[in-house]
């Protein structure tokens, strides 16, 4: 069956878990006929790149359009804005599992990135891979009401300084089901740096790496009503920093966060920092192999 033909169990779904109400474009670099000069409206004549899809004349803002990225698709970004997601309301849906997921690799320039520059964009099931050392925010989110689900960010060559970077325009961003596979080697500041923004939510995450400022951090510009919960962090850095918020960042941290620290030292207090945040237990911390976790020792509320 052609993927262009709607699946019979849900007309207009194209096999997606939601009905498609707008235009559909197919992207598949592995197809023999792939070209950004194609119409891109079928799996038999797909576009070659996601960037080609966002430049396509049928993609319409806030129209319910979907970019369907086929299993095995690969794309290399070598400069800032190498992929510019600048059409609002578009869903970029990756197909495939494991190593067959669509993969975007960043190389050549430390500023190489995907820019999410329009509101209401949804990215699902894409693997973002670092191809050179010291990348500075290869996933760069600069617009409101965007969503990233079931994505993976991975240090493959060297370590990104910050893999995901947001700015003050990224209000109401949701990241759900994110895996970050960093490196034990020193170099990164964070897996995600949050620079301002209101009502950002990060949940169901699994983060590994060696972080100098915090696996999840907002240390330069205060965020408002941040919401971080239900996740696991393993930090290999001697700094032992899991979640670190600026002193005037507000919001909720926890519940159901587990942190595994590197040093068997006095590091429990430093692992979770946020003077203007509220913390919700359980936040579990362990720092030595063979030991069980203890709850964060952040000051508990009293019936004062």
Structure token pair of residue 13: 């779904």
The pLDDT of residue 120 is: 98
Mind listing the pLDDT tens digit for each residue in 146-174? 999 999 999 999 999 999 999 999 999 99
Mind listing the pLDDT tens digit for each residue in 114-150? 999 999 999 999 999 999 999 999 999 999 999 999 9
| 283-286 vs 294-295, strand pairing mode | antiparallel
Euclidean distance between CA atoms 274 and 120, whole angstroms: 29
Residue 37, C-beta contacts closer than 8 angstroms, at least 6 positions apart: none
H or E stretch at 247:
none
Mind listing the pLDDT tens digit for each residue in 235-251? 999 999 999 999 999 99
195 versus 16: the higher-pLDDT residue is 195
State whether residue 36 is helix, strand or coil: coil
Taking a C-beta distance cutoff of 8 angstroms, is the pair 217, 191 a contact? no
Average of per-residue pLDDT values in the chain: 93
Percentage of the chain beyond pLDDT 70 is 96
- Residue 37: CB atoms within 10 A of its CB come to 10
Residue 140 φ then ψ, to 5°: -115, 110
Q: How far is CA 47 from the centre of its chain?
A: 24
Mind listing the pLDDT tens digit for each residue in 5-22? 433 334 456 778 888 989
Structure token pair of residue 303: 């019936």
């Amino acid at each position: 069956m052609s993927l262009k033909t709607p699946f019979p169990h849900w007309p207009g779904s194209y096999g997606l878990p939601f009905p498609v109400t707008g235009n559909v474009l197919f992207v598949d670099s592995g197809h023999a006929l792939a070209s950004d000069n194609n119409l891109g409206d079928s799996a038999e004549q797909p576009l070659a790149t996601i960037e080609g899809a966002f430049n396509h004349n049928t993609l319409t803002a806030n129209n319910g359009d979907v970019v369907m990225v086929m299993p095995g698709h690969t794309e290399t970004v070598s400069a800032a804005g190498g992929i510019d997601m600048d059409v609002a309301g578009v869903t970029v849906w990756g197909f495939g599992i494991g190593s067959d997921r669509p993969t975007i690799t960043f190389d050549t320039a430390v500023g190489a990135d995907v820019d999410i520059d329009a509101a209401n964009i949804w990215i699902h099931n894409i693997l973002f891979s670092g191809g050179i050392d010291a990348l500075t925010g290869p996933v760069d989110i600069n617009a409101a009401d965007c969503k990233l689900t079931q994505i993976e960010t991975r240090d493959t060559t060297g370590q990104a300084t910050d893999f995901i970077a947001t700015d003050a325009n990224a209000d109401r961003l949701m990241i759900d089901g994110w895996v970050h596979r960093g490196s034990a080697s020193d170099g990164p500041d964070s897996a995600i740096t949050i620079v301002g923004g209101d009502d950002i939510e990060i949940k169901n995450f699994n983060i590994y790496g060696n972080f100098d400022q915090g696996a999840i951090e907002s240390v330069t510009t205060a965020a408002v009503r941040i919401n971080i919960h239900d996740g696991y962090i393993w930090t290999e850095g001697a700094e032992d920093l899991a979640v670190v918020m600026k002193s005037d960042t507000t919001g909720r941290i926890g519940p159901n966060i587990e942190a595994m620290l590197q040093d068997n030292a006095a590091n429990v207090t430093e692992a979770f920092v946020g003077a203007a945040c509220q913390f919700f237990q359980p936040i579990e911390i362990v720092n030595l192999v063979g030991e069980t976790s203890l709850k964060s020792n952040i000051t508990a509320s009293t019936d004062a």
